[in-house]
Structure formats: structure tokens, C-alpha cells
Amino acid sequence: LSLEELDRITNDIHNTLNHYQGRKVFRKFLEKGKRQDELICLDFHQQCCTIIKNDHNYV
């Protein structure tokens, strides 16, 4: 992969995880594939985002 391709992929993943519908579609994909470890990671990521959002709202 070129650096540009890697940047594009990274940005696409970031945008997907930051968008409600993107997370919903990604979660369905993981559930259908029985990807339990990845679902746990997705839940953890969401918890971290919530904590960060609440922290930013506090300041």
C-alpha cells in the first residue's frame, strides 16, 4: 500500500466509526460474522468516545 492509500483507508475507518449509521452498519457486519472480539472492541471504542465527548462538554 502507498502512504496515500493507507491515509484514505484510515480516514474511511475514522469517518465510519464517528458516524451513527456507520457504526450501526459495521456492528451488523461484525454480528453476522460472529466477530465477538471485534464487537467488544467496538463497544470499548464507543465507551471511550462517550467519555471524551462528556469530558469536552464539561470544559
Largest distance between two CA atoms of the chain: 41
Supply the range of the domain harboring residue 38. Answer: 3-58
Domain count for the chain, please give it: 1
Confidence category of residue 29, pLDDT binned at 50, 70, 90: very high
Amino acid at 10: T
- Length of the chain, in residues: 59
Given a contact cutoff of 8 angstroms between Cβ atoms, the answer to whether 42 and 23 are in contact is yes
C-alpha cell read off for 45: 471504542
Task: Give the pLDDT mean for 7-26.
Answer: 94
Question: DSSP string spanning 28-56?
Answer: HHHHHTT-HHHHHHHHHHHHHHHHHHHHH
pLDDT at residue 58, as a whole number: 67
